[in-house]
Amino acid sequence: MAFFSDIWNSFLEMPLWVRIWTFLILVPINFFSLWFIQQPSALLIACIAIAGIAFNAIPLFLERGFSSTMAIPHVIFWIPLVIILITYLTNSEKVMSDNYRYFLICLLICNVISLAFDIPDAFKWIKDRKKAS
């Protein structure tokens, strides 16, 4: 039970705006990609979007809380996702619904904003690992 308590306390220690951003915007919009699964390229997009979140379970479990390590899965999965989304939105000859296009634009914007925070955190994590070695 202490494990869940540690995670909950770690969550509460984050600034309010980070909690709101993460759990009311970022996580839902990435999981919402499943709603459009029947659309062109949606399976690939959904898998990468959700992987960026799902693989956060590893550092969350190992560190018993939220940390800068959680930026690593975002960087690994969402940089390629951003490239795919930009390419798809600008070069796709496939027909997609307006709702799907608007969703992809929102997904792109949210993940770019997230990466603006995650990339510096990932570099910090790498730098800290080099110091520890």
74-117 pLDDT, tens digit per residue, is 999 999 999 999 999 998 777 788 899 999 999 999 999 999 99
**pLDDT > 80? residue 1:** no
Rounded Cα gap, residues 85 and 65, in angstroms: 31
Q: Is residue 4 included in any domain, yes or no?
A: no
User: Residue 113's domain spans which residues?
Assistant: 29-128
Q: Which two three-digit tokens encode residue 122?
A: 């990932």
Q: Is residue 43 included in any domain, yes or no?
A: yes
Q: Is residue 94 included in any domain, yes or no?
A: yes
**3-state percent helix, strand, coil for the chain, nearest multiple of 5:** 85, 0, 15
Q: Can you give the pLDDT at residue 52?
A: 95
Q: Can you give the pLDDT at residue 125?
A: 86
**pLDDT > 90? residue 132:** no
Q: Is residue 41 included in any domain, yes or no?
A: yes
Q: By C-alpha distance, which of 77, 47, 70, 82 is closest to 117?
A: 70
